[in-house]
Amino acid sequence: MSVNQSAPPVPPFGQNQPVYPGYHPASYGGQPGPAVPASPYGAYNGPVPGYQQTPPQGVPRAPPSSGAPPASMQAPCGQTTYGQFGQGDIQNGPSSTAQMQRLQGSQQFGPPLAPVVSQPAVLQPYGPPPTSTQVTAQLAGMQISGAVSHAPPSSVLGYGPPTSLASASGSFPNSGPYGSYPQSQAPPLSQAQGHPGVQPPLRSAPPLASSFTSPASGGPRMPSMTGPLPPGQGFGSLPVSQPNHVSSTPSHALPPGTQMTGPPGTQMTGPPVPPPSMHSPQQAGYQLQQNGSFGPARGPQPNYESPYPGAPTFGSQPGPPQPLPPKRLDPDAIPSPQLNELPPQQRARHRIDPDAIPSPIQVIEDDRNNRGSEPFVTGVRGQVPPLVTTNFLVKDQGNASPRYIRCTSYNIPCTSDMAKQAQVPLAAVIKPLARLPPEEASPYVVDHGEAGPLRCNRCKAYMCPLMTFIEGGRRFQCSFCSCVNDVPPQYFQHLDHTGKRVDAYDRPELSLGSYEFLATVDYCKNNKFPSPPAFIFMIDVSYNAIRTGLVRLLCEELKSLLDYLPREGGAEESAIRVGFVTYNKVLHFYNVKSSLAQPQMMVVSDVADMFVPLLDGFLVNVRESRAVITSLLDKIPEMFADTRETETVFAPVIQAGMEALKAAECAGKLFLFHTSLPIAEAPGKLKNRDDRKLINTDKEKTLFQPQTGTYQTLAKDCVAQGCCVDLFLFPNQYVDVATLSVVPQLTGGSVYKYACFQVENDQERFLSDLRRDVQKVVGFDAVMRVRTSTGIRAVDFFGAFYMSNTTDVELAGLDEDKTVAVEFKHDDRLSEESGALLQCALLYTSCAGQRRLRIHNLALNCCTQLADLYRNCETDTLINYMAKFAYRGVVNSPVKTVRDTLITQCAQILACYRKNCASPSSAGQLILPECMKLLPVYLNCVLKSDVLQPGAEVTTDDRAYVRQLVSSMDVAETNVFFYPRLLPLTKSPIDSTSEPPAVRASEERLSSGDIYLLENGLNLFVWVGASVQQGVVQSLFNVSSFSQITSGLSVLPVLDNPLSRKVRGLIDSLRAQRMRYMKLIVVKQEDKLEMLFKHFLVEDKSLSGGASYVDFLCHMHKEIRQLLS
Amino acid sequence: MATYLEFIQQNEERDGVRFSWNVWPSSRLEATRMVVPLACLLTPLKERPDLPPVQYEPVLCSRPTCKAVLNPLCQVDYRAKLWACNFCFQRNQFPPAYTGISEVNQPAELMPQFSTIEYMIQRGARSPLIFLYVVDTCLEEDDLQALKESLQMSLSLLPPDALVGLITFGRMVQVHELSCEGISKSYVFRGTKDLTAKQIQDMLGLTKSAMPMQQARPAQPQEQPFVSSRFLQPVHKIDMNLTDLLGELQRDPWPVTQGKRPLRSTGVALSIAVGLLEGTFPNTGARIMLFTGGPPTQGPGMVVGDELKTPIRSWHDIEKDNARFMKKATKHYEMLANRTAANGHCIDIYACALDQTGLLEMKCCPNLTGGHMVMGDSFNTSLFKQTFQRIFSKDFNGDFRMAFGATLEVKTSRELKIAGAIGPCVSLNVKGPCVSENELGVGGTSQWKICGLDPTSTLGIYFEVVNQHNAPIPQGGRGAIQFVTQYQHSSTQKRIRVTTIARNWADAQSQLRHIEAAFDQEAAAVLMARLGVFRAESEEGPDVLRWLDRQLIRLCQKFGQYNKEDPTSFRLSDSFSLYPQFMFHLRRSPFLQVFNNSPDESSYYRHHFARQDLTQSLIMIQPILYSYSFHGPPEPVLLDSSSILADRILLMDTFFQIVIYLGETIAQWRKAGYQDMPEYENFKHLLQAPLDDAQEILQARFPMPRYINTEHGGSQARFLLSKVNPSQTHNNLYAWGQETGAPILTDDVSLQVFMDHLKKLAVSSAS
């Protein structure tokens, strides 16, 4: 965003349609101008189809692209494309041609090929739907991108001409090579030459790439460059998708030949070598640079402005709006009057083919196919693990499983200069207590006896496989700080001929990446071994809670739930003690001592100065006090049945729980069930300060800030006591989640929110969440420390925890779902040989009260070439980190600034790549690194999320809720949260047992004859098309027709037929995968509720102004171009 | 009216009044020369089985500043239906109801035998009695158990409609809600934080209902009981609940580490009890009964820290100004006591512990509100159990021997003014024409509030003769005093008891004999003792003793017959003869001597001394000693070491202790088991006799005395030895080796020495 801002003209995204006309032309013009209009198009067209085809399978694409002659191609392409898309084929066909023409006209204006891409982008924003078909084709190409490499070239070429469609698809592959704009001209030429088909252009691109070579030399990318040569291979070889691409490549390869020559020499050599080994596993399908080279930067810009204007998306908004647009237009391309005149819809049609831009679905699918089958062995330093969406087994051979730690990059630049240049955040997302699949062994517990775990004397790092034993085993050198330490006699062991300890494989701490130490008393608070933790249930019994039936439901549930408290290993019963508190304006403690005939209630009304009224009998063993507890839980709903108390307190409740734990001298967890804004006179009293008018103002941030400092202070005390707070909210109106969640957030707790809770509708969801929350493994009173080898340093932490200094992450409680993101910065130069090492040590009290240290070690590579960095990145993790970074930022900066920062950073990352790693290509091409080709789409999702761009129906509480939720999400969760999964339910055969292949989250992907399921980890929708077969409706909903389906239905009838079983089974399995129970909502096409559903179709333009994927891609491209120029 | 003794006795029986002087000196100057002030001991609710209350209201003098009650001393004009107030001489019309009166048809209040009369008031709301138990849970298990049983038992003794409440405390204070079924509910307060009455009521959720209640009360007094129904419930309703609740009471669960005292929040507990009643039942009879087993150790009102290594303050510390918490704690309890008194409630303290419990600081609570103070070693003793039980004893009518919220108003004829009162009362600060500027005791008012009283509660009331010497009172003139006591009877009725007395005036110069003869030395001794004790509360012990001595010397100088400078010639008339002896024992009594007593004990003794009637007070001053032997029936003997003989059994009653002491020989016999031999049955009887007599005393006394059965050489014999006049000590060698009596190892002077000095000083012209 900053870029935009800096460049006054740019900002004008905000403007409206009027601008479009101008832009389109501009963009088009740009393209044509530079290149030979006709040929390019042809080329593009050609490629397009190819890509489309390819998506499904690599091979097909290639041929088409290559084969496709320019002109002729177009037509066919168009058709094929459409066909594939299955959508408005007809329209597309024609429209495309029309576009083409226009493009030509437009091309004159400006930049060569580039414009193409941009145009598409531009166009899409306007009329996403129509274009979509086209776009899709492109997208397909993109996804295939692996194959892409070939395609890309073609696409690139194509793009220019065909505009978005071709360009998109082609561009990716090529993009790498094409990188440099200036060259863009060249491409056209090449294209012209190549011409005939898409391929030529592609190749042309490569040549450009050759020019890049220098940059490419960096490493893998080079290969990518070369890739073009052997198209598929080249790319594939590099990092890219080998399989798919390969097939495709060949075809391209041929044409490229010429191109090849240029770059090949150098590139080939470089890339081939490294890439094969390195990348093959990781980036199967992707080429380093996926490029969606988008058209002309300028052309697009204007366009963007216009389209975006409305959309705050990019951050540049209204401010610049209308006036600006004109300016921009000027720079880029002059809008042709005609274009301007064109109705928006038509323009839309001209946009980029969505299928040609990188598809998350495709990437995920490819990764699954390529990496899901073999276990991921962690022995090798710096390996990029499979995507989080892939099911894979992990074999711990010295590095922590990616389930525990994921990094944004597994290859860290050696110098801070490089890191700054690349702008890729170096971060690790750590989930120290992650639950492992049953096939993987949980960490071994190591007992080093009374002396405690063996540690480096200087930096205090724990013994790990990374330590080097020297002098025959008498000493060891710390790999973090290089200090040489003596090996204590009892730990001595001889070394074998390789310098390894003979017992290395007998000792988990010498052979595994993750393991646990038993802590000695030195590691305990007050030098006393902790007592088993306690759970305290604190239930709001004010009028609201009683009225909704919450209290009764909860009490009923607790009776059975108490049997399932977390247990240590094979323990017969949980060591955890429980206590109960109810409250409204005052607090009621309960004495449930086993010796009592009936529970005793103790009311504390002195909320201003909270204390715990009893000690003995408050926290009890469930088994011993079973009878009294049951009686209590029976009584609670009765006792308050007639309550008229509507006011509640909040801070005193937490304080009470904390004091109780303090009195009992143990750590523990509070489960708070709260309904309303705490307005009763007491510390932490809140007022309703919700004000939608603040949105999009500088004061918006105040909505995310706590109202009072009380809660921070309280949280600090809680942390000191090891008191973790889980908050269940049942608000009917504003409850100020931002303030109420402060304590859970700082104590490592969770917040659950059930707006307008009704027992009938929300019971299942609440109970399921509660069960999971109570049962899940949790560590208490934890301190996490991340140590790194010399040269880098953990500088920033994100998540639900408290820090009293700059290094220790204090967590009152840490459960298996919580993650902590850690950002690293350079301290010094790193060396490629020693790499960068991380050791995350978590000291915690287990649920049985045992004090332990969990150690995770991870070794990363270091690089001197930026290309290595880009080849070893993990976009999902990156997005996870960036989202957390941005979400934290909204507390201090206006949301617009935060969005701008994100966009700028993303643009910088990509621009750096383009500049340093991609082979030279037309400036009009958007070239994305293979590993990051999804960065734009994901980032766009982040930008469009409720926190950063709230829709009208999103409440302040919702935003605060999501904000804190995301702060401790792991990578898998953020992945699906920001880019929901959309699964067609009726497309695959009923008897197939596997999950149906997902489709992209766009309305265009929905066919009215099908039923879809969408989930993002929090929500679950079943969307029913209007023309679904009656039989299907019958077998799923047990009603005879579409119109009889109840909209908003939250449960599917249990029917005994294969479809119903399958769908319900699918829903169950999805729910089981997610941290929180997803409430089902059945949405009918064209129904009111559909708005809600559409909100999650993140590739589309959102109602609140969020850009569509294509628009955003174009915008991003523009930003990149600006950076580059 | 043969003798003054009979007169005095008769008056006491009829009116519950004993005056120091029964003939009054007629001028101020003379009165001051009498040394012993004109004063009386008044037992406002003296039991009068022969006095049924009348069912109407008293007739009052119409003068607003007077409002005296129509009494037998008033002059009545039966024809005009007028009566003249004998205090202000206002002539008043009889009310319409009295139209039928005549010389032969007099209302009771005009009959001389009804100088004391009780009226029953029918109007006004009748609210049930309230008993609020405030129970310490920081007790040993068996102590707590015993206390729980006592409390449970007490429920059966309460009137069924009485309201009861329960507050328990330890580290926290819990106010128990009594109305809930199935779950016992209590409000808990931090024991370290003092709260205002308002806060307490807010936190107990009483404010909302209390507000409308206060407004609506005049109209719907019925609502009252429901208001605080959660905490105060009629006994008959929650009998079972409360019994269970008490049964489940646990010891304070907070851990007490070694070397620490349990944290006991007595101060806050009392404060909450006071606040609770204040908010819900102001101005109705209520007893807050505090049961505590140790000193308050935290929060406001703490008396000692929780470190066992710092002992609780002693007199030594207090003298050295070394009692850190005393002042603050005293202030706290005083504040509470005053609030309670203002609300008409009373506070009892039942403190059972081996060590001190902070009675010194808390004494004002019972002292100012007319509550009881009971001190024992453990709740698991009969001393406590029976004492507690006796609180609920009933009189001949089956009514509880307790009354609440009394207001005592005193009216005097013009020649007299009221100087003050000493007893379990607080001043109501009602100034009036008959209030003296000089204060004796609690003065400056003509009305006092006595929140809790029983038939033996006795106040000393002090007067000042203001008549000037040059304004002689006509011959035969009488001074009159009227005591009007309004109170809530235990049957919840409002009653007014009016006592009107008159005494003759006499000119001290011409009629000194009369005055002398009408001296009531017992009453005077008690009244002077009360003054002394009252002073001792605020002054240094030696000063008080010196003051007492000076008074005694002056009295002897004034009324003794002697030749100057000739001690041997000194004689006192019969009516004064015992007085010096009382003073001697008073000087040695624990009321003025703190030696050998803890501050708590002193407070305890003084508390009782300030409220018991004359007889009991005298016993306290000078214990009674009976001797049992084969030589004859039991006889009272001198409280003297010479009475301690080997072949006697002694029974000493000090009011607080009953000591049975077996002489050396008797003890040996008993040891030899003679009492079990049939042929020595008389010995058995002899042993039994004092036991029976002791039982008799024990039965009647409140609080239960400490019962000590000891023998010659027994450690407990110290109780006896410390009381008797040390006529034989290791110092007076001439007594050494004598057969009779037992030497007392003390440096105290004996009565003989005391008297010798007194005579010397009395006859000395120097003083």
Q: Do A611 and B184 lie within an 8 Å CB cutoff?
A: no
Q: Which residues of B touch A (CB under 8 A)?
A: 172, 174, 177, 180, 182-190, 193, 195, 199, 202-205, 244, 248, 250, 253-255
Q: Contact A372/A364 with Cβ under 8 angstroms?
A: no
Maximum C-alpha span of chain A: 95
Q: Which residues of A touch B (CB under 8 A)?
A: 586, 588-589, 593, 596-606, 609, 611, 613-617, 631-632, 635, 638-639
Mind giving me the DSSP string for A723-760? EEEEEEE--SS---HHHHTHHHHHTT--EEE-TT--HH
Token readout for B68 is 């005296």
Q: Contact A967/A888 with Cβ under 8 angstroms?
A: yes
Rounded to a whole number of angstroms, the CA Rg of chain A reads 30
Angle at A1081 between CA A1076 and CA A1085, to 5 degrees: 140
Examine the pLDDT at A685 and tell me if it is beyond 70.
yes
In which residue ranges of chain B is pLDDT below 70? Answer: 1-2, 180, 207-229, 731-742, 766-767
Q: How far is CA B13 from the centre of its chain?
A: 19
Token readout for A819 is 């993650």
* β-pair partners for B174: B168, B188
Name the phi and psi angles at B410, rounded to 5. Answer: -115, 130
Higher pLDDT pick, A967 / A194 = A967
Question: Which residues in chain B are closer than 8 Å to A638, comparing Cβ atoms?
Answer: 182
Q: Do A602 and B255 lie within an 8 Å CB cutoff?
A: no
Q: Tell me: the pLDDT tens digits for A736-786?
A: 999 999 999 999 999 999 988 988 888 999 999 999 999 988 999 999 999
Whole-number pLDDT of residue B734: 55
Whole-number pLDDT of residue A95: 37
Tell me the mean pLDDT in the region A518-524.
91
Whole-number pLDDT of residue B331: 94
Partner residue facing A600 (CB), from B186, B190, B199:
B186
3-class state of residue B24 by DSSP: strand
* pTM, rounded to two decimals: 0.77
Distance CA(A814)–CA(A404), nearest Å, equals 13
How far is residue B130 from each of residues B45, B161, B238, B334, measured CA to CA in Å?
20, 9, 14, 22
Whole-number pLDDT of residue B211: 40
Angle at A606 between CA A601 and CA A607, to 5 degrees: 100
Q: How far is CA B204 from the centre of its chain?
A: 34
Question: Which residues in chain B are closer than 8 Å to A639, comparing Cβ atoms?
Answer: 180, 183
Q: Do A614 and B204 lie within an 8 Å CB cutoff?
A: no
Question: Which residues in chain A are closer than 8 Å to B204, comparing Cβ atoms?
Answer: 605
Q: Do B203 and A605 lie within an 8 Å CB cutoff?
A: yes
A939-971 per-residue burial string, b: 16 or more CB within 10 A, e: under 16: bbbbbbbbbbbbbeebbbbbbbbbbbbbbbbbb
Tell me the mean pLDDT in the region A518-528.
90
Query: ω before B311 within 30° of 0 (cis)?
Result: no
The minimum CA-CA distance between A550 and chain B, rounded to whole Å, is 21
**CB half-sphere exposure, A415, CA atoms < 13 A:** 6
Helix (H) or strand (E) holding A805: none
Mind giving me the DSSP string for A806-828? SSEEEEEEEETT--EEEEEEESS
Residue B493 buriedness (CB in 10 A; 0-12 / 13-18 / 19+): middle
| CB atoms inside a 10 Å sphere around CB A1103 | 12
Q: Do A611 and B190 lie within an 8 Å CB cutoff?
A: yes
Q: Do B182 and A631 lie within an 8 Å CB cutoff?
A: yes
Going by C-alpha positions, the residue among B362, B237, B235, B393 that lies closest to residue B295 is B362
Whole-number pLDDT of residue B202: 84
Partner residue facing A606 (CB), from B177, B190, B248:
B190
Whole-number pLDDT of residue A951: 81
Partner residue facing B188 (CB), from A598, A604, A616:
A604
Token readout for A268 is 């080939």
Contacting residues for A861 by C-beta, under 8 A, at least 6 apart: A381, A382, A410, A411, A412, A832, A835, A836, A868, A872
Q: Do B250 and A605 lie within an 8 Å CB cutoff?
A: no
Q: Do B188 and A602 lie within an 8 Å CB cutoff?
A: yes
Q: Do A631 and B250 lie within an 8 Å CB cutoff?
A: no
Whole-number pLDDT of residue A127: 35
3-class state of residue A611 by DSSP: coil
Token readout for A272 is 């081939």
Mind giving me the DSSP string for B349-373? EEEE-SS--SHHHHTHHHHHHT--E
Q: Do B255 and A615 lie within an 8 Å CB cutoff?
A: yes
Q: Are strands B23-25 and B494-506 parallel, antiparallel or unpaired?
A: parallel
Examine the pLDDT at A324 and tell me if it is beyond 70.
no
Distance CA(B607)–CA(A236), nearest Å, equals 103
Q: How far is CA A610 from the centre of its chain?
A: 41
Distance CA(A938)–CA(A957), nearest Å, equals 24
Indicate which of A602, A631, A633, A665 best probes the interface with B, i.e. most B CBs within 10 Å of its own CB.
A602
3-class state of residue B33 by DSSP: helix
Q: Do A597 and B205 lie within an 8 Å CB cutoff?
A: no
Tell me the mean pLDDT in the region A74-100.
37
Confidence of residue A29 (pLDDT cuts 50, 70, 90): very low
Q: Do B183 and A632 lie within an 8 Å CB cutoff?
A: yes
Q: Tell me: the pLDDT tens digits for A540-549?
A: 999 999 999 9
Partner residue facing A601 (CB), from B184, B190, B253:
B184
Q: Tell me: the pLDDT tens digits for A43-84?
A: 333 333 333 333 334 333 433 333 333 333 333 433 333 334
Indicate which of B171, B181, B186, B230 best probes the interface with A, i.e. most A CBs within 10 Å of its own CB.
B186
Rounded to a whole number of angstroms, the CA Rg of chain B reads 28
| E strand residue ranges, B47-114 | 75-77, 82-84, 91-93
Q: Contact A240/A149 with Cβ under 8 angstroms?
A: yes
Distance CA(A936)–CA(A906), nearest Å, equals 8
Q: Do B254 and A615 lie within an 8 Å CB cutoff?
A: yes
Distance CA(A430)–CA(A765), nearest Å, equals 28
Locate all alpha helices (DSSP H) within A640-709, ordered by sequence.
Answer: 651-664
- The residue assigned the tokens 């859970």 is A744
The helix-helix angle for B579-588 and B521-538 (nearest 10°) equals: 30
Q: Tell me: the pLDDT tens digits for A885-906?
A: 999 999 999 999 999 999 999 9
Going by C-alpha positions, the residue among B268, B251, B242, B266 that lies closest to residue B185 is B242
| E strand residue ranges, A961-1113 | 981-984, 1011-1015, 1019-1024, 1079-1084
| CB atoms inside a 10 Å sphere around CB B682 | 11
- The residue assigned the tokens 């991003």 is A1116
Token readout for A700 is 């918006």
What strands lie across the sheet with A468-470, from one edge to the other? Answer: A468-470, A475-477, A484-486
Distance CA(A450)–CA(A281), nearest Å, equals 44
Partner residue facing B204 (CB), from A596, A605, A617:
A605
Counted across chains A and B, CB pairs separated by less than 8 A come out at: 75
Q: Tell me: the pLDDT tens digits for A387-438?
A: 999 999 999 999 999 999 999 999 999 999 999 998 899 999 999 999 999 8
